[in-house]
Structure 1
Amino acid sequence: MSTNLPYFRYHPDPVASGSIRESAETCACCERATGWTYTATFYTAQDVTGRFCPWCIADGSAAERFEGDFTDSFGLDGVDAETLEQVTRRTPSFHAWQDPHWLVHCNDAAAFIGEVGYTELTAHPEALDQLRADLRLNGWHDATQLENFLTHLGHGASEMLFRCTSCGTHLAYADAS
């Protein structure tokens, strides 16, 4: 990660995830060309022409000026108001097939690590076990079909990997087209 970018507690490497990239574009908020631009979602009723720089995301000025959020609050149940504000209005979101949502662990939002496939996910067995359990709760009762789905990620589906900011436990959710 580039050291000159602002640090995002809940998305520690937005360059690696593709949410922020180098660019000569001018920021829609501060109207400066900072060398970096945000590439993922922003939800607002206003007409925004252009993209935001990481600094206008980090300090909240983009969300405030354009009355919007970078991430929906879905999944952030149980976090305090300050954390909710930090994740939805001061943290870059990420690219997903469906609307991205944040995971919570230890009563705090988890840090988004990135989109992964089955091979990468097997390095985090606690996340894989949690994902299997979540998928079973959502109707995947056939173990063979469930494992087939998990092992063939990347064909219209992927896993979003997170890490608890308190205890370090990895978590994941399935995102499909």
Structure 2
Amino acid sequence: MPEPPVFPYHPDPVATGAVVPSDGVCACCGQARGHLYRGPVYAEADLGGRVCPWCIADGGVADRFDAHFTAGECLGEDVPQAVFERVDRRTPGFTGWQEPRWFFHCGDAAAYLGPAGSAELAGHPDALQVLRTEIGTWGWPDHQAEEYLRSLDPSGEPTAHLFRCLHCRTHLAYSDTP
């Protein structure tokens, strides 16, 4: 079984669960390539779990079905339209409790590293600071915010989604709850 294509903005979609091993046939290319994408697909056709990562990478799914893989919400800097389109139409998305959002930093999209809890975030004080800034807008006292950060769980609720800038290597995160 061949390895899925490389996605600069989602470097390990198998580890994040966005791409899974499957004997299923891709609705775009008609081939069974050993993996299918199981993340969100925004298209008129019901494509959930029915397209392969190769057809995402080459733009086939986006072109054939006018499909998008993000909800279109960006966090951070403005980026060239071509960068946004590469994330939105040629990069596997990810599922969250709410509509997923994508970070942009240093004039480019950041790489999605996956869901994260307090343990995964412990080594990334830069991501924790981004989360503290986000939580600060909620009007919570510091002790409640810190308790919330300690409660983050990569497979539960609440969770965080961790990104890394491809240029300066800064880690970024936002929290996600049902």
Unaligned residue ranges in structure 2 (runs of 5+): none
Pair 1:110–1:36, CA change in 2 (3 A): same
1:172 is matched with 173
For the residues of structure 1 that align with 2:120 and 2:162, how far apart are their CA atoms? 9
Pair 1:131–1:41, CA change in 2 (3 A): same
Q: Please provide the CA RMSD for this pair.
A: 1.7
Pair 1:114–1:47, CA change in 2 (3 A): closer
Q: 1:4 Cα deviation (Å)? A: 2.7
For the residues of structure 2 that align with 1:47 and 1:171, how far apart are their CA atoms? 32
1:141 is matched with 140
For the residues of structure 2 that align with 1:14 and 1:113, how far apart are their CA atoms? 9
1:159 is matched with 160
Q: How does 1:57-96 map to 2 (within 5 A)?
A: 57-75=56-74, 78-96=78-96
TM-score of the superposed pair, with normalisation by structure 2: 0.93
Q: 1:153 Cα deviation (Å)? A: 1.6
Q: 1:107 Cα deviation (Å)? A: 1.6
Q: 1:50 Cα deviation (Å)? A: 5.3
TM-score of the superposed pair, with normalisation by structure 1: 0.93
2:106 is matched with 106
Residue aligned with 2:73, SS: coil
For the residues of structure 2 that align with 1:134 and 1:95, how far apart are their CA atoms? 20
2:122 is matched with 122
1:53 aligns with 2:52: yes
Aligned length: 175
Q: 1:52 Cα deviation (Å)? A: 0.6
Percent sequence identity is 45
1:6 is matched with 5
Residues 12-69 of structure 1, C-alpha deviations (whole Å, 9 max, x = no match): 0000000001000000100100000001100012344751101000001001111120
Pair 1:49–1:128, CA change in 2 (3 A): closer
Residues 83-107 of structure 1, C-alpha deviations (whole Å, 9 max, x = no match): 1111000000012111111011112
Residue aligned with 2:113, SS: strand
> Which of structure 1's runs of 4+ aligned residues deviate more than 4 A?
none
For the residues of structure 2 that align with 1:49 and 1:94, how far apart are their CA atoms? 12
Residue aligned with 1:102, SS: strand
Amino acid at match of 2:100: P
